Structure 1
C-alpha cells in the first residue's frame, strides 16, 4: 500500500510540475526580455497619448526602456537637422502631416520603411491619410491623429439675433447671416473667428473644396477655379468685416462673448466641456457650410503621423516597428489617447468604441464625436509635397496683396510663375 501511495504522490507531483512548466512557457511566450532603449520625439500632447501605446508595448517588452522628449511640432525638422551624430537620432518621431514629405525627401535613407506594417492595414485608416504617408512608392510613416474641422457656434447668440443654424447651408448663407448680425448689433458682434495672420482659414476652405496648393502630381494649382472660389469666400468674409482675429489662440475667441462661431477641431470640444461648464447648453456644432447647396462640407486642419528612424542595429529597428504598431494600430491605446488627451485617431477601428456614439450633454445631447468621425472619414486628401512649407509661407506673405487685388486670378498666375521659378 505504501508503495502504491508513493507512486500516486509521484504522479501528482509530475502532473503539477508539468502544469507549472506549461504556464511558465505560455507566460514566457507572451514576454520578450530583450534589453534596449527607444527614444520618441513628439509634442507634449502627442507624447502623453502615445504613452498609452507604450504601456501596451511594455507588456510584451518589459525590459525595453522608452524615453520621451517633448519637442515643438513646428520645429521638428529643424531640431532633427541639428543632430550631427546619427547614433544620437531618436528612434521614433511624431511629425505634423505637413512635414512628412519634406522630412522623407531629406532623410529617406535614414527612415525605416514601414511597408510591412501598412500593406495589410492601409484600408483601416481614413482615406485622407493614406497617400500622405507614402514616398517613392513606399510607406515612410504610419497615420496617427487627424484634425477634422467642425463649425462651433454660440446657439444663444444666433437665437438672440433670430438666426436659425439650419438655414445656413452654404457660405453665401453664412456671410449673409454674419452681415445681418453685424448690422443688428451695430458692429458689436462678429460672425466668425480665425487667425488672420496665416492661411489656416483659407486652407480649410481649400480642403473642403477638394483642392489645395498642389494637385495629385505635385504641380501648383493656385490659379485653378476651385482655388479662386475658396479664396473669394475668404475675401468676402474679410471685406464684410464679420471676422474676429484670434491670432491663432482659440481661447481669445472663447473668452469673447461677441463672436458667434469658429471652425476648429475636436480639441475645442474637450476644452469647453472641462473648462467652460457655465456655458453648458449654449454651444453646438455643425458641419461647415458648403460652396453650393448639397455640396461637400468636410475638411481637416492637418494631423500627425509616425516615422521610424534607422539605428545601427536591425534588432532595434524591429523594436521600433513593434512600438509604432502599438501606438498607431492598437485601438485600445488609441481610444485611451482620445479619452484622456483628446487626440483624435485616424485608425477607423477605434471609432467602434462607445464614446464615439455618445450624446454629449454639454452640446445639447448632440452626438458630436460622430459628427467628427463623419467629417474625418469624408475629408478630401491633401498632397502636402516636399515644398509645402515653403509654398505656404509664400502664399501667406502674398495674402494681404491678394485680398486687396481687383484681379485675383491674374495675381495668382503671377505668383505661380514666381514659385515655379524658385522651386524644383
Structure 2
C-alpha cells in the first residue's frame, strides 16, 4: 500500500513537471499571430524583405507571406485595386509615387499608436514628417538616401589637398579649377552623369528651398552654370573624376574598386550653412482592409525594422540604407572598409540622416524636382 502511495506521488510530481515544462516552452498564446500577408517590394529591398518573410514564417507557423517585386507603380496600383482578398497588403513606395499615382487616395492602416509612438526616436524627424498625410501618419519609413560627398583620396593627395578642404561650393570651385589645370585639363572634381547628376541637383534644390519656388530654380541653375563654367562637372561617362554627390548607391559602386575613397558631408552654400540633407526614401504602407489583423501587421513590421543582423548585411553591401537609426549602433558597422579611409561610410551617412534638414513644404519640393526633370 505504501509503495502504491509512493508511486502515485512520484507519478503526480512527474506529471506536474511535464505540464510546467510544456507551459514554459510553449510561446505565449497572446503572442501568436496568424494570417496572410502580401508584400510588394522594390528591387533594392526585395531580397531583404524576402529573407525577413522567410524568417518570420519560421517562427510564426500560422502565417503565410508572399513577396512580389514591383515592376512599375501603375501595375502595383492595378493590383491593389483589383485584389479583393482580405490578406494584409503591404507595399513599398516613396511619397512621390504615392502622390503621383493617386495611391494616397487609398485608406491606410495608421501605425502611429502601435509602432511609431514606441519607435519614433529611432527615426530622423524629417522622415516622420514625410509619412504624414493631413497630420495622420500613414506609413513607416523603410529606406533613406542621405547625401554625402565621396572623394578619391589617392587623387586628392596627388594634387596636394585633403577631404577637409571642401567646406563650401566656393571651395569646390577654387580647388576644382586648380586640379583641372594641374592635371592638364583631364580631371574634374564632380561626376555629373546618371544618378550622380540627379543627386547633385537634388542637393542644390534642398539647399535653396528656403526661397520662393522661381528663385530656387533660378539659383540652382546659376550654381550649375558656375560649376560647369569652372570645369567642375564631369559630363562624360568615360572621363576621370575626383568625387561625387551620392548616397548608399555610391558605396555599392566603389566597394570593389582599387581606388582609395573617403566620404564626408557635402559642401554647403556658405560657412555655417546646413550640410545635412537626405533625398527621397521609401516607406512601407499597409492598406486598411476588412481584415483587422493589427497584431500581425505590427509584429511583422517591427520585425522588419529591427532585424539588425540581416539589415547590416544588406546595407554593408550598399543595397539600401535603412531609415531605422538604431541599426547603425551595431558594432559591425564600425568595421573599416578596405578601400575607404576614415570612418565607415555608413557611420557618416547615418550622422547625415539623423541631422537631415526637414522640408516644410514637400509639395513645393516635388514640384521643383519635376520641373528639373526628375
What is the TM-score of this pair, normalised by structure 1?
0.76
Which of 391, 394, 398 lines up with 2:371 in the alignment?
394
Q: Which residue of 2 aligns with 1:269?
A: 251
Q: Which residue of 2 aligns with 1:36?
A: 35
Q: Which residue of 1 aligns with 2:288?
A: 310
> Secondary structure in 1 aligned to 2:130?
coil
Q: Which residue of 1 aligns with 2:267?
A: 289
Which of 82, 85, 102 lines up with 1:85 in the alignment?
82
Q: Which moved more, 1:343-352 or 1:5-14?
A: 5-14
User: Alpha carbons of 1:322 and 1:36: their partners in 2 closer, same or farther (altered >3 Å)?
Assistant: same
Q: Separation in 2 of the partners of 1:156 and 1:146?
A: 29
Q: Give the drift of 1:157.
A: 1.7
Q: Which residue of 2 aligns with 1:338?
A: 315
Q: Which residue of 2 aligns with 1:300?
A: 278
Q: Say whether the 8 Å CA contact 1:142–1:328 is kept in structure 2.
A: no
Q: Give the drift of 1:142.
A: 0.5
RMSD (CA atoms): 3.1
How do residues 144-183 of structure 1 correspond to structure 2 at under 5 angstroms? 144-183=142-181
User: Alpha carbons of 1:23 and 1:270: their partners in 2 closer, same or farther (altered >3 Å)?
Assistant: farther
Which of 319, 324, 329 lines up with 1:347 in the alignment?
324
User: Alpha carbons of 1:287 and 1:390: their partners in 2 closer, same or farther (altered >3 Å)?
Assistant: closer
Structure 1, unaligned runs of 5 or more: 247-251, 398-424
Q: Which residue of 1 aligns with 2:126?
A: 128
Which of 136, 140, 143 lines up with 1:142 in the alignment?
140
Structure 2, unaligned runs of 5 or more: none
How do residues 17-416 of structure 1 correspond to structure 2 at under 5 angstroms? 17-30=15-28, 35-55=34-54, 57-72=56-71, 75-76=72-73, 78-83=74-79, 84-87=81-84, 91-102=89-100, 106-109=104-107, 111-116=108-113, 117-195=115-193, 199-207=198-206, 209=207, 211-212=208-209, 221-224=212-215, 228-245=218-235, 258-273=240-255, 275-276=256-257, 278-279=258-259, 282-315=260-293, 318-332=295-309, 334-339=311-316, 342-382=319-359, 385=362, 392-396=369-373
Q: Give the drift of 1:126.
A: 1.3
User: Alpha carbons of 1:58 and 1:17: their partners in 2 closer, same or farther (altered >3 Å)?
Assistant: farther
Q: Give the drift of 1:158.
A: 1.9
Q: Say whether the 8 Å CA contact 1:101–1:386 is kept in structure 2.
A: no
Instruction: Give the number of equivalent residue pairs.
Output: 369
Q: Separation in 2 of the partners of 1:63 and 1:392?
A: 45
Q: Give the drift of 1:179.
A: 1.6
User: Alpha carbons of 1:387 and 1:60: their partners in 2 closer, same or farther (altered >3 Å)?
Assistant: farther
Q: Say whether the 8 Å CA contact 2:40–2:67 is kept in structure 1.
A: yes
What is the TM-score of this pair, normalised by structure 2?
0.85
Q: Give the drift of 1:268.
A: 2.6
User: Alpha carbons of 1:378 and 1:91: their partners in 2 closer, same or farther (altered >3 Å)?
Assistant: same
Q: Separation in 2 of the partners of 1:45 and 1:382?
A: 25
User: Alpha carbons of 1:373 and 1:81: their partners in 2 closer, same or farther (altered >3 Å)?
Assistant: closer
Query: How far does the alpha carbon of each residue in 1:120-152 deviate from its partner, in whole angstroms, 9 at most, with x for none?
Result: 322321122010011122110011111112111
User: Alpha carbons of 1:387 and 1:232: their partners in 2 closer, same or farther (altered >3 Å)?
Assistant: closer
